[in-house]
Structure 1
């Protein structure tokens, strides 16, 4: 209930409810659903089935089918969700289907909030549903969304796939774990009393036999009420209630148990083989005894334990025949495959498994598609005419299986499967792609070469050439890229292979950009972005690189325009959390940050989330540190604590430890800053442009420490990145890269005690392509250099410009540093005029003058109360007063207050 109330107030949360079968999980969630509806929540309830991986996204489809009309209408606006609704054909896959589905669900939950989404029986969840739960647990943050999942603890054996998921989710701060324990004797007595009248002896018997399990107690009470004897064990007790049914009733119930937890009325009647009148009479008997309940257009077992008990009691031949009967009547491929296998019809199982795999592929459930395809392949040698039944060859099916394994995140499984297939251009092209993704460049290049040599048509050749060029881009053979992409483009255009054409264009654009031909790179990326390829991943990739090249050339307005277009495309297609959808949002954040649009940047960063559990989330979260460190926001320390486990990754450590170094410098700990810089530099490839910023920050730290030890090494790394780059040749750095290179040189001179005015002027000019904050920081150092050179007037001009920018940005650490420098330099406006108050201190003073307490000021400014106390002490000291009232009066005298 606490999680639900928090969601109502705008803090999304997840509750995982575990307990033994019959302990009361369903009852608890039913009460939660009731309260949620009273509070105005839209409610989605879905249930996993024992068929497991056979039915991808079953609980989501179940929830959408049972949702209120307004929710179903909202879902239909998201095509990836609409196809889960009855009567909707699944659309052909256009790439990134699962990510689109996940993004669409996140969009739906935002559209219909407040919303409660309950997923029951997670111990039976398919892989894609488990992935969906993890996604929602990480992504819902400020939405009014509550997600609840229930699972049986007694079903979670040591290797159960849900165990690792639960362990991962329980580490998240927004996930609440609820473990339902058996009722104590007193609690059980009270519960039994709510069921009806029992005497003391019967009550004692029920309490002692139920062993704290409410469902068991209910069954014992029902058996006593019907005058039955009480057999030992829950299964025996449940079957004793089944055995009092008529022969027709038992026959129907056994058929229902083979169907699973739920079954449609018409299907159950056909499988039972009873005449309509006799079937309906049997159903009335079963429902009246509370064994099945009416559920929409069919029936559901009152409890999963009852369905399991009836199913287990079936004779082997009886079970096989019932499964076979269901298989002949069903049309859903996944259910067909399940019943065919249970009914020992291998040919039917192979055919249905192949169809189920194709359906799962279209629905965006690659793990289930891979599982179905592998099931069909495992039956291949035991079935005649397998290729006719599967409607494709064994090699084609195995290729599909490998691609689905990769799409579900298992590149290594995909590589293993592709390596045993007969070599073809298509097989080797995919193998090269996956080897490149798993950081095996030599293997990727070899596979790509084979793909080119074995291509039998122009489309295959175009894709092979585009992939080969990509594998060579950062290798010693990078000079071959231009010729390869030229061949790929000509071949792709002749064959109409748009995806290969765009892939080749983007690889060539990256190559010529690195060689310094930015104008040509622009033209190539614009061509790649001009038309859609039908491959959404490729289209987003094109827009990302288009915006990135604008950004790196310092064309911020154009970069923003293209990035906005890409973000819109990602949102509209449900791909805002895909790789390039996320990259586009990173880039849009950076454009805001660089352009000095810090309020917008902070708003975007708020969506990045501090809680992280995967590497992509860690990288996304790291970006928020740019604004949080620069404004000294309270979230910095918490975010860094969440990011520490990911500091083994090159990009995550570059981002987060590089900014942790700046945070340490602003807080007077240059030694810690230097440690961060050295750790961040360690995994970088020699010549990587990322070295430049880190080297500059490391040299800043050395200057603060007053030592030259290690300075030459840092500046050498920066110079090598400028002169050689990762391929051993001088590459194009872009506007920001060149500016950081100059900053590193200027900081190196500062370490050695030389405040070089001309060099710091060059740093200011280099960052003046629109990087507002770095221009201000460079002006600070330029002002120091000018003052040391004796040009006091020019120094004060630069100081005032820097201070004005810092105030507008609310860059508190820089404001404080400038104020301190201004006081030492005795610049006008930094001493007697306003007492040297920073912009944040003036802000605090104005609220203090209104009569607000420290707690109220903290709430108004979203900062810690302790921080307000420090600001107030500083204000009193700077204004040379002893009370808050005197501070307000002094502020008015100096014109700081209205």
Structure 2
């Protein structure tokens, strides 16, 4: 499969430099090594295409697995496949002519090496420039190896480039190519390129070029292929046909194992049962070989590249190799080896795996329970949940399971549910809890997770039942605190004061710190939305100051502490507290829990609002672009704030991955709202309005999200010149503002008030009225620290002022907006401001040639002669982003080449 060349730009650039030097009269040799399937041929094909474009003749030959039976096979292959002009030139050299089609039967006795090499040099001199590619050097015959060494030493001033490829995984310690490579690498004319595995991101991009693939299937292919493009292709094809490990791939992998002596195969089979990695002492014990024989076998395995030395043990060179060897084991052999490992291991997680594979169900059950407990103590909730679930799956098949586990099945299932929630899988936790007997403890957790899963009615009902079923003070305190929490956004929010007071009394009397913390946090949120932010701060600070004994609760406290600062416009304080919470989430294994992810959302937003877009983009780089779960989709959606604001080329790809998750309300609100803005910046207001309408259809009347969506929808209507639906958008926004956070009015922070003002100003713009006062109020209200929205509001204020005849004031606002947009590198806004300034004939910007601040930076580096890659490295941005900037520069300066762009910039005085 030949698709896009993904993830090899650096390696290709190195090879192109060798070809470029050859074109200028400095011959060179390049050696390209890598495992089978890693992409050597694909890379060299791309190089050949580049060389042809530079006017090179390309000769390409392959070695075959025939030993020394056919000398000079790749040279003959290259000449036979050469273009007519090269074959005619070769025919003029008798020694080479004998390698051409129709001359094979000629007497080869005179085909001496010295004469042949001289003839080849003559041919290369006659037809230069030449790129001579020899593939699969690991199979090269002795004469071909001699030819390669000869060329590497003799071609110097000729316009010739020689490239050889070889498989590193085939070079065992006695391989005849090893000394040849060692000799050649010492030569200054030889460039060595080693192709390693593709990164996870590049592999994902590569698999995506093969066709449609779901997020889960993509993740499976990427993890199993382990960076090898060929393996990914085979797995993609097999997955489409429902196979596990394709026969062709399994055969390729096993062919390298079968050449080992019996002792080596025995060791490798034992290593495959251990997994991807195994310790030396453990492998020696399980293999059962004498020490000397074991060490010789391992030395042979390592020399053939099947295992790599890794600290005190060994790692399979590739995950699929381990899988192929393991799959090839006989059933009884597999069981015996697993049992042997189980006898020697002490780690519960490893014991569980080997006991289960060795059909020791009781051993697997006991080890799984213990492994879950250890993972929970280490702050690894996802792993704890997996271990507990494995134990629950074995419960009915093990005699005396309760005694072995030391607890009932219900207790184990409850802990599994709590761990699932800690790993961010609230839906699984809810499902598990609903299947359990409805004790107060179960109902309280069910209510807690239902609330986080945005099912308030079910959460309230479960919380009330938890309170009624409580039989001891600590559980009653927790149930009361959770019940108060479920009422926060309901019409019954007035009950919160009484419920939290009761929860606090009970919790303090019995020492239930977690319940006390939960009640205080709910009370703080309630106070905040009643407008008493001072009380809210004090309550949250009380919780943060004293550990509750519940890590998830402590994380929740830090989130709300940071959020209250953020929504009050205190961005520095919010950042400090959010950073502390994120550290805690990572240290305790709760990074994917509800508040672990919420804290990362919030930290990104703080950077975004404060105008720290470089930092925001760095944070967003850690958000998954290829998503497979709802939490990942929500996290990924946040990255769109900066990507859309900067007009980055990653937007379309990210939206493509997010589209399947638009059934989730929050993921849709985030990503479709920003997709609407992206469409507006790209001149498609109709698509923007479609996104807005789709989101607002799912938003509840009075919900705060209506306000921002209405503002974007009104922007789209203004661009369309239509008033259809404008009044309804305004009504929905006003209803949400009137409802406030509680649904019955309440305190609004500066951002909420600012968006409300923008809705009113946009509604008037739709109706043809540019309201100076409203846009000025929007600017002043956003100016609590929201750099980008302040600049966007200034843009509209400048338009309104110009329409009112206040030209000087309009240009002042325009200048301030341009300054902020330039600092943020908000290219779409910069372009919109440039267009407005051009129409308004504002001064102070003509010398820019219409370029944004970032485009001016890029143009300076273009004028210095830097390539896109060099510019990307200098400015710490991607080559794709540089390419977009260069295209924009050429269009704005109305030129077609980089040289013309640099000249135009100097004419305009951009570098003065």
The TM tier, using the shorter chain, reads 0.5 to 0.7
Q: Distance in 1 between matches of 2:271 and 2:906?
A: 82
Which stretch shows the higher mean deviation, 665-674 or 815-824? 815-824
Distance in 2 (CA, whole Å) between partners of 1:485 and 1:851 is 68
CA deviation string 1:485-511 (max 9, x = no partner): 222223223332222222222222222
- For the structure 1 residues 426 and 829, does the alpha-carbon distance in structure 2 shift closer, same or farther, using more than 3 Å as the test? same
Q: 1:636 to 1:378 in 2, by over 3 A?
A: same
Change (3 A) 1:400 1:732: same
How far does residue 716 in structure 1 lie from its aligned partner after superposition? Answer: 0.6
SS in 1 for 2:723: coil
Q: Does 1:366 align with 2:384?
A: yes
- Is the aligned partner of 1:823 residue 2:875? no
TM normalised by structure 2 equals 0.64
Q: Is the 8 A contact 1:469 1:481 kept in 2?
A: yes
Does residue 1:378 correspond to 2:393, yes or no? no
The match for 1:654 among 669, 672, 686 is: 669
Deviations 1:443-495 (A, max 9, x none): 43233223222323322122111222222222333322222122222322333
Distance 1:851 1:648, change over 3 A: same
354 and 652 in structure 1: CA distance in 2 versus 1, 3 angstrom threshold: closer
- Which of 719, 725, 736 aligns to 2:751? It is 736
Matched, 1:699 2:714: yes
- 2:911 aligns with 897
Q: 1:493 to 1:609 in 2, by over 3 A?
A: same
Unaligned 5+ runs, structure 2: 14-34, 39-165, 174-193, 207-213, 235-248, 303-308
1:400 shift after superposition: 3.2
Distance in 2 (alpha carbons) for counterparts of 1:698 and 1:514: 27
Which of 567, 583, 589 aligns to 2:604? It is 589
Q: CA deviation at 1:7?
A: 11
Q: CA separation in 2, counterparts of 1:890 and 1:759?
A: 42
> CA offset at residue 270 of structure 1?
11
CA deviation string 1:330-355 (max 9, x = no partner): 76556777888899988777655644
Please state whether the residue corresponding to 2:698 is helix, strand or coil: coil
User: Post-superposition shift, 1:16?
Assistant: 13
Is contact 2:791–2:821 with CA below 8 Å preserved after alignment? yes
Per-residue Cα deviation, 1:185-232 (whole angstroms, up to 9, x for no partner): xxxxxxxxxxxxxxxxxxxxxxxxx99667479769969xx9xxxxxx
Structure 1: unaligned runs, 5 residues or longer: 19-26, 35-113, 119-135, 147-162, 183-209, 227-237, 243-251, 273-278
Q: Is 2:531 the partner of 1:516?
A: yes
1:52-451 to structure 2, matched below 5 A, reads: 137=200, 166-170=217-221, 176-179=228-231, 215=254, 312=331, 354-359=369-374, 361-362=376-377, 364=380, 365-374=383-392, 377-379=395-397, 382-383=399-400, 387-404=402-419, 414-415=429-430, 418-419=433-434, 421-451=436-466
Tell whether 2:740 aligns with 1:722: no
Q: Following the alignment from structure 1 to structure 2, what is the Cα–Cα distance between the partners of residues 591 and 325? A: 54
In the alignment, the residues of structure 2 paired with residue 638 and residue 629 of structure 1 have an alpha-carbon distance, to the nearest angstrom, of 12
1:669 counterpart = 2:684: yes
Q: Which residue of 1 aligns with 2:637?
A: 622
Moved more, 560-569 or 716-725: 560-569
Quick check: 2:704–2:737 contact (8 Å CA) kept in 1? Answer: yes
Kept in 2: contact 1:686–1:725 (CA 8 A): no
After superposition, what is the alpha-carbon deviation per residue over 1:824-853, rounded to whole angstroms, capped at 9, x for unaligned?
Answer: 33333356x766665456546655665778
Cα distance, 1:534 vs structure 2: 3.8
The CA RMSD measured in Å over matched residues stands at 5.4
What do residues 44-65 of structure 1 show as CA deviations (whole Å, max 9, x unaligned)?
xxxxxxxxxxxxxxxxxxxxxx
Aligned to 2:467: 452
Decide whether the 8 Å contact of 1:169 with 1:175 is kept in 2: no
Taking a change above 3 Å as real, the CA distance of residues 855 and 498 of structure 1, as seen in their structure-2 partners, is: closer
| Alignment CA distance shift 1:875-1:653 (3 Å) | same
What's the CA shift string for 1:346-372, capped at 9, x where partnerless? 877765564454345445322442234
Tell me, yes or no, if structure 1 residue 479 matches structure 2 residue 497. Answer: no
**TM-score, reference length from structure 1:** 0.65
Counterpart of 1:502 (choices 517, 528, 533) is 517
Q: Is the 8 A contact 2:730 2:759 kept in 1?
A: yes
1:543 aligns with 2:595: no
Report which stretch shifted further, 464-473 or 636-645.
636-645
1:474 is paired with a residue whose SS is coil
**Paired position in structure 2 for 1:786:** 801
Distance 1:139 1:536 in 2: 36
Task: Tell me the residue number matched to 1:110.
Answer: none
Partner Cα distance (1:587, 1:398) in 2: 33
Aligned to 1:133: none
Cα distance per residue 1:521-566 (max 9 Å; x no partner): 2222222222233433322222221111111111122222222332
How far residue 791 of structure 1 moved from its aligned partner, in angstroms, is 2.7
Contact persistence 2:490–2:743 (CA under 8 A): no
Q: Tell me the CA shift for residue 737 of structure 1.
A: 0.8
- Counterparts in 2 of 1:599 and 1:412: CA distance versus 1, 3 Å: closer
Residue in 2 that maps onto 1:887? 904
Q: Distance in 1 between matches of 2:376 and 2:675?
A: 43
Q: Provide the C-alpha distance between the structure 1 equivalents of 2:816 and 2:789, rounded to a whole number of angstroms.
A: 12
2: CA distance, partners of 1:558 / 1:425:
38
Distance in 2 of aligned mates of 1:865 and 1:255: 51
Equivalent residue, structure 1, for 2:773: 758
Question: How many Å apart are 1:376 and its aligned residue?
Answer: 6.0
Residue in 2 that maps onto 1:231: none
Closer/same/farther in 2, CA of residues 660 and 876 from structure 1, 3 Å limit: same
**Quick one: structure 1 residues 280 and 609, their matched pair in 2 at CA, closer, same or farther if it must change by over 3 Å?**
closer
Q: Secondary structure at the match of 1:634?
A: coil
| Alignment check: 8 A CA contact 1:757 1:785 kept | yes
CA distance in 2, matches of 1:685, 1:725: 13
* 1:868 pairs with 2:886: yes
Tell me which residue corresponds to 2:726.
Answer: 711
Q: Which residue matches 2:827?
A: 812
Counterpart Cα distance in 2 of 1:699 and 1:872: 33
Q: How does 1:456-471 map to 2 (within 5 A)?
A: 456-471=471-486
Distance change in 2, residues 1:789/1:267 (3 Å): closer
Distance 1:505 1:665, change over 3 A: same
Q: Which string of whole-angstrom CA distances, capped at 9 and with x for unpartnered residues, describes residues 300-358 of structure 1?
A: 9999889888864589xxx89x9999988876556777888899988777655644543
Deviation of residue 822 (structure 1)? 2.8
